Structure 1
Amino acid sequence: MTGSPSSDAARATTPAEPITAEELQLALRNHGMPLEALRYPLTPVGLHYLLTHYDIPAVDPATWTLEVDGHVGRPLRLSLDQIRARPAVRTPVTMECAGNGRARLSPRPLSQPWLIEAVGTAEWTGTPVGLLLDEAAPLDGAVDVVFTGLDHGAEGGVEQDYRRSLSIADARAEGPILAYEINGQPLPPQHGFPLRLIVPGWFGMTNVKWLGRITLLAEPFDGFQQMRAYRYRQDPDEPGVPVTRMPPRSLMVPPGFPDFLTRQRFLPLGPCRLEGRAWSGCAPVDRVEVSTDGGHTWNAADLEAQIGQHAWCGWSHAWHPRGPGVYELCCRASDAAGNQQPVQSRWNTGGYANNEVQRVTVVVGEPTAGPPAG
């Protein structure tokens, strides 16, 4: 079948091209987290970012089952009650969409036009994937574990169920769970009811919602969402490199109050506590820096403890504006593996992992425009 461009951005817009009707339609269907919600250690469910590739499926929990099949010695079929009766873990996890920041790239890849708000941290309750796989007894030669959601649609001319895979080593590692609760309550329909995959540290596309089947393969999975979408490419014809873990990012709670249309911020002259959250899927965040002069100079922020091994940490910085004027505030994070958030991210065809530093324009003093302060 034929269809619209795939999620890997079959084309990019020209630098001057306005947002398209297709992008606007996606933007209205999906939503980011308001940046002021960074104040919450755990994001309230209704404020957590949300991306739905196709339609939210209608699922009857009384008849729903999870199938575990493929290259296994013991296929399984489990009801929701049986899954809930299994050993459970509860873990806070920061989740970010791989396309977060896409709309700030030029040329702009044509897909969901995220700015920087496609993130959230929730406490997920579920059963470890590894224990379930052990029970299914993978056969020798099993290499990939495919997670199939009940959401069905078309992308890049391909009709498909939403499917993503992990290597059997990644699926059995400590961390991945089959979650049935978010922040202590059953998953709502938009977050994958009745069951979804949670893989800490990986971008959001890995965390398959509305899970219906887990299949072990004796060969690498070559499905659309694995091999065509979610790959770093400089040219659409390249095979690309898989998108996996989240690089470090820091976001700031915009200080003061906003202009309705431009979202420019206004602050009275005086001391101001800047604050935000930082995370990385590669290693713990070990440094956050803040600039109040558009990135010319940087100062270390104070870090709070992470709320969990796989969750963001809070940070704060005392700022004393030297006088009235227009300031450009920035923040950036580094992690223990040596990764640092860049001032400018490298472009790719899908608009993935654009973690360049956040910039917030603030008018200190009277709410009138003026030249940037030094």
Structure 2
Amino acid sequence: MTIQNTRREILKGGLAVAGLSVLGIPDWAMPVLAQGETLVEFTDLPPNINLNPTVDRRIIDIRNINGVFTPKDQFFTTQHYGHPEIDPAAYRLRIAGLVDRPLSLSLTELKAMRSTDIVFGFECSGNRRPLQGLTSNGRWTGVPLKTVLDRAGIKAEAREFVFFGADHGEEEVDFRGTITKVDQQFGRSLPRDRALSSEPLLAYALNGEPLTKHQGFPLRLIMPGWYGVANVKFLSEIHVQEDQYLGKFQARWYRTLRGEMVNGEMKWKEAAISHLQLKSFIARVTRAGDAHNVFGVILHDGTPIRSIEVKIDNGPWQAATLDPSTKEKYSWKLFNYTWKGATPGEHTLVSRVTDVTGRVQPTSEELANKKTFLEDNSQHPRTVKIA
């Protein structure tokens, strides 16, 4: 039977959802509920959730989202090569390759440049049901990437901009059966038009405070509207080149295999992970009196949202309401739906989002020809049991 608790009862009785008390989650991490409001637990979750599976990996409990911005010590993170130790006094960002003036910039020099802020909510491309916890939203402060690139002077033949982190590790490169072991930095690239646009940011602060090591201290690339992998942490070098960059995390590890019907035949295509696929999910259900509130999150690539809807069981789609506090272009969007007349028993709730181009969040069945687990933006049915 589902337990419905007030926030006070959860804290007092040690009934933190999914064993959160065992994990040491503090008071402020619990959802802030209004007077008389109770939390309705999902019945589709595992009995225990480990929010910190390793020292360099962290997921958020989406049921505890309390506002627009994710606190720095809750912000999701995942790493491939751990956290490098970087001395901020000795740190330099190098810009080299097809540039007129190679640069080596200290953190102090970067902070002396004109700064700007951007609110950006994103997810790891591997974020998926049932937890949906590899996502967060924050206000990033830094210097526009274009400002630094303009200072370096980009040559006309430059086509690819490669961003290397200070994190690195041993990799085995397989070329037709021949294995070569190499020490490789984490790297991702952008094409010229994206790199020289006005939106990419070299961020040194999150929510008004210096980046933590979990968020790429001392400098991180922020690529608004793209999946987390493109937002390179511990940024140490920008290399400008003409040839396409084919590093592991650009060309092999982060790919989506999808079948598409072309001229009546199934064609299998591999595509690199880049911009966010339109997605929504229900994060929390609460009860106040005779009504229930369904609260959720929308992730998107910056394209304006036309509508967000919720469906209960086999009923019709009903319009939900966007939270006006999440109106920034690249912010995650929060939404609420008032569910009236809920009857005792188990119910299934699902959300779907549509943007202004007419793109609709797909069902799992509509993604049947996607054979890799990355970029799962399918509609996510949630189950609850009303007492």
Same fold by TM (over 0.5)?
yes
The match for 2:188 is 164
Letter in structure 2 aligned against 1:186? P
SS of 1:135's partner is helix
Match status 1:68 vs 2:95: yes
- What is the CA-CA distance between 1:309 and the residue it aligns to? 1.4
1:353 to 348, 359, 375: 375
- TM-score with structure 2 setting the length: 0.77
Is 1:147 paired with 2:174? no
Distance 2:58 2:184 in 1: 24
What's the counterpart of residue 280 of structure 1? 300
Equivalent of 2:349 in 319, 329, 333? 329
Give the structure-1-normalised TM-score: 0.80
**Identity, % of aligned positions:** 31
Q: Cα offset for 1:156?
A: 5.6
Q: Distance in 2 between matches of 1:361 and 1:150?
A: 43
State the distance in 2 between where 1:166 and 1:316 align: 36
Q: 1:299 aligns with which of 315, 318, 340?
A: 318
Deviation, 1:268, is 8.1
8 Å Cα contact 1:230/1:243 also seen in 2: yes
Structure 1 residue 304: Cα displacement: 2.7
* Residue number in structure 2 paired with 1:126: 142
Equivalent residue number for residue 12 of structure 1: none
Q: What is the CA-CA distance between 1:239 and the residue it aligns to?
A: 7.0
Task: Structure 1 unaligned segments of length 5 or more: list them.
Answer: 1-23, 105-113, 257-266, 366-374
Does the CA-based 8 Å contact 2:51-2:58 persist in structure 1?
no
What's the CA shift for 1:57?
A: 0.2
- Of 140, 148, 151, the residue aligned with 1:135 is 151
1:48 aligned residue = 75
Alpha-carbon shift at residue 27 of structure 1 (Å): 4.3
Cα distance change of structure 1 residues 221 and 26 upon mapping to structure 2, 3 Å threshold: farther
Task: Give the alignment partner of residue 281 of structure 2, picking from 235, 251, 273.
Answer: 251
Question: Residue type of the partner of 2:294?
Answer: L
CA gap of 1:218–1:26, structure 2 versus 1, over 3 A, is: farther
* Aligned equivalents of 1:39, 1:169: Cα separation in 2: 37
Q: Distance in 2 between matches of 1:347 and 1:39?
A: 36
Report what 1:85 is aligned to.
112
Matched, 1:364 2:386: yes
Q: Which amino acid aligns with 1:231?
A: R
Look up the SS of the partner of 1:214 in the other structure. strand
Whether 2:108 is the aligned partner of 1:117: answer: no
Where 1:328 maps in the other structure, the secondary structure is: strand
Q: Secondary structure at the match of 1:162?
A: strand
Q: What's the Cα RMSD here?
A: 2.3
Kindly provide the CA deviation profile for residues 268-316 of structure 1, in whole angstroms up to 9, marking residues without a partner as x.
87211212221311512221110111x6531111123334111122211
In the alignment, which residue of structure 1 is the partner of 2:13? none
Worse overlay, 132-141 or 332-341: 332-341
Contact 1:282–1:337 under 8 Å retained in 2? no
Question: Which residues of structure 2 form unaligned runs of 5+?
Answer: 1-49, 174-181, 260-267
CA distance in 2, matches of 1:95, 1:199: 10
Task: Find the residue that maps to 1:73 and give its secondary structure.
Answer: coil
4+ residue runs over 3 A deviation: 24-29, 154-159, 345-350
> Match of 2:341, SS?
coil
Q: Which amino acid counterpart does residue 276 of structure 1 have in structure 2?
A: G
Aligned equivalents of 2:64 and 2:152: distance in 1? Answer: 41
- Amino acid across the alignment from 1:291: K
Q: Distance in 1 between matches of 2:78 and 2:192?
A: 26
1:83: how far off?
0.3
Whether contact under 8 Å (1:230, 1:350) holds in the other structure is no
Distance 1:224 1:26, change over 3 A: farther
**Alignment: residue pair count:** 319
User: How many Å separate the matches in 1 of 2:64 and 2:198?
Assistant: 29
CA contact (8 A) 2:141 2:204 kept: yes
Residues 26-66 of structure 1 show CA distances to partners (whole Å, capped at 9, x for unaligned) of 94452222112333111111222111111100000111100
Aligned runs of 1:185-224 on 2, under 5 Å? Answer: 185-224=209-248
* 2:119 counterpart SS class: strand
Contact 1:38 1:252 in 2 (8 A): no
After superposition, the Cα gap between the structure-2 partners of 1:300 and 1:154, relative to the gap in structure 1 and judged at 3 Å, is farther
TM superposition shift of 1:335: 1.2
1:314 aligned partner: 334
